[in-house]
Chains A and B, each alone.
Chain A
Amino acid sequence: MSVRSRAAIVAVGTTEQGELRGRGADEVSVEAIRLALDEAGLDKSEVDGLITCRSNMNTAGTDTSVGALLGLNPRYSATLDYGTCNFSLHLAVMAIMAGLAETIVLAYGATQRTSKVDFGVPLGVDLATASGYVHIAGPAGLALQRHKHLYGTTDEQFGHIAVAQRQWARLNPLAIFTKPLSMEDYLAKPYLVEPLRRDDVTMISDGGAALIVTSAERAADFPTTPVYVRGIGEAAALNGGRERDNLLRPWIANVARDVYASAGMGPQDIGALYIQDPTAVWVLQMLEYYGFCPVGEGGRFLAEGHTYPGGKLPLNTNGGQLSESYMWGWLHLCEAVRQLRGECGERQVPGLETAMYCSTMTFTKGAASIISTSK
């Protein structure tokens, strides 16, 4: 059974991003939901599904807690804790196709900045943790070091990810990091976890995001331009940690194969690309595995400037987690929807019809969605 254009995103809602002092994650989720409902011209009683995202590193964000605050008794509800919104979107498409619900709201709220969540030391101390192997910059740095060793990728080539995303962020009123960042600035910064610099690693910020997904039939009833889900793909590398080259996450190529097959499309059909970026290493890896350049050629591809404003492959036009806001990838999908509707002002990609959003859950899961204004 094909998912192709059976469901559509009909609204997005995004709160202020940055520091939301004194607010709770669930309350911020509900604010984002209210903004999405307003955009859709929908009363909450018309929503019959709720999919929430459990907060990274704490317990907020379950469907039971967000649903209570939202004052809703939907037909269907669920909580995922993988983040990135891709998995949530896929679950919504499946629930709609299964007839469990017809209009589903997806939401995520985070207050990790003001609540000072410690992303350093995980639960349970093993040899690695006791040695000081902490934070996502550790494994990401190991992966980049290996990439540099195998393919000769240079700091400057890699730096184009952070520098290009900052250029995009400077055109985005929602973005938090908008100070100019030239390649010279980038290279002059000290290493954080060598070979990564601070600019290569996500910020931590507070904020909320929500999307409303409905059946393709129902989508025509909304005031917004429907953005159809053309194809989806996932992979679960649950044994990955025991496989030799898992730092390089070669299984992402399986997500690419499946999402393109699902949509009946290929990289040449993608007008704007979104890659969830807790670190810039994720962008380097996914550019290659999704076929925008051969594996190992990511550095050279980036140095050709394709991902900058005006380039042939607009990438993370919101600024991504490196420059816009943390939000665990949720804002990438919101931005893709707004770009496809042509609402992005100075950073608008002209004539955009189809976008792809690729994300991962650390070293164990991957997902991608191709979305389009055409069926």
Chain B
Amino acid sequence: MTPMPPLPDTTNALTEPFWAGLREHRLLVQRCAHCEALRYPAAPICPTCLTRGGDWTAVAAEGDLYSFVVYHRALSPAFAEDVPYAIGVVEIQDRLQILSRIDAPPDSLSIGTRMRARYTDVSPEVTLLHWEPAARWKGARND
């Protein structure tokens, strides 16, 4: 039997607000209460000014494609049914880089392509943020 793709622990105290945000189809990242630097992924302390904690703030889930790859072979059996699939790094505001799956034909992609979030509910607890080109591509959903 093919193993299922691994799912994150959405109850982890550090990242729980991030996953809760995705469930509501919003992208939340931490903002340092002292120096206001945005950070992703989550961290218990601001690596810029070393202030503990941070406030979760919604950011626009769109940006430019910084780089991408296409998995033609599953390098973990959990993704055997997904190949070929693309993974990309998208730069959102403040040049935060968010890496995730791209839901689009790989040959439609190039560095610099404007991307937007596509929220993908995979279980009652887990919603993943995938990326897709902001401009309509052939085969795109009609919503």
By a beta-carbon cutoff of 8 Å, the part of chain A in contact with chain B is: 118-121, 125-135, 137-138, 141-143, 145-146, 149, 190-196, 239, 242, 244, 247
Contact = CB atoms under 8 A, between A and B. Distances in A.
5 contacts: A127-B41, A133-B100, A138-B87, A242-B39, A242-B47
Contacts of A239: 47
A132 B85 contact: yes
B69 interface: yes
Top 5 closest A-B pairs, CB basis?
A: A120-B76, A141-B69, A131-B101, A135-B75, A194-B70
Given A126-B8, A242-B39, A132 B98 contact: no
Interface in B110-140: 111, 126, 128-130
Nearest to B71: A193
Contacts of A133: 87, 99-100
Interface of B: 5-9, 15, 39, 41, 47, 66-79, 82, 85, 87, 89, 91, 95, 97-101, 106, 111, 126, 128-130
A118 B79 CA distance: 14
Contacts of A145: 67-69, 111
A128 B7 contact: no
B111 A191 contact: no
Given A130-B6, A131-B101, A132-B85, A121 B78 contact: yes
Contact of A126 (B39, B41, B111): B41
Given A143-B67, A247-B67, 14 more contacts: A118-B76, A121-B76, A125-B7, A127-B100, A129-B8, A130-B126, A132-B74, A133-B87, A133-B99, A133-B100, A142-B67, A193-B69, A193-B75, A195-B69
Nearest to B95: A244
Nearest to B77: A120
B23 to A, nearest CB: 13
B48 to A, nearest CB: 9
A137 B83 CA distance: 15
B13 to A, nearest CB: 14
Contacts of B76: 118, 120-121, 132, 134-135
Nearest to A128: B99
A120 B5 contact: no
A190 B72 contact: yes
A149 to B, nearest CB: 4
Given A134-B79, A190-B72, A244 B97 contact: yes
A137 B75 contact: yes
B69 A142 contact: yes
Contacts of B129: 127
B128 A127 contact: yes
A242 B39 CA distance: 8
B6 A194 contact: no
A132 B82 contact: yes
B45 to A, nearest CB: 12
Contact of B7 (A130, A194, A242): A130
A132 B79 contact: yes
Of the candidates B41, B67, B77, B101, the one having the most CB atoms from chain A within 10 angstroms of its own CB is B67
A193 B6 contact: no
B81 to A, nearest CB: 11
A284 to B, nearest CB: 15
Contacts of B7: 125, 130
Nearest to B75: A135
A167 B69 CA distance: 28
B106 A125 contact: no
Contacts of B66: 146
Given A127-B98, A138-B87, A149 B67 contact: yes
Nearest to B15: A126
Contacts of A126: 8, 15, 41
A149 B66 CA distance: 10
A142 B5 CA distance: 21
Of the candidates A131, A134, A143, the one having the most CB atoms from chain B within 10 angstroms of its own CB is A131
A128 B39 contact: no
A145 B66 CA distance: 9
A131 B131 CA distance: 11
A120 B77 CA distance: 8
A239 B85 CA distance: 29
A195 B67 CA distance: 11
A111 B67 CA distance: 34
B105 to A, nearest CB: 13
A235 B76 CA distance: 31
A174 B118 CA distance: 50
A299 B67 CA distance: 19
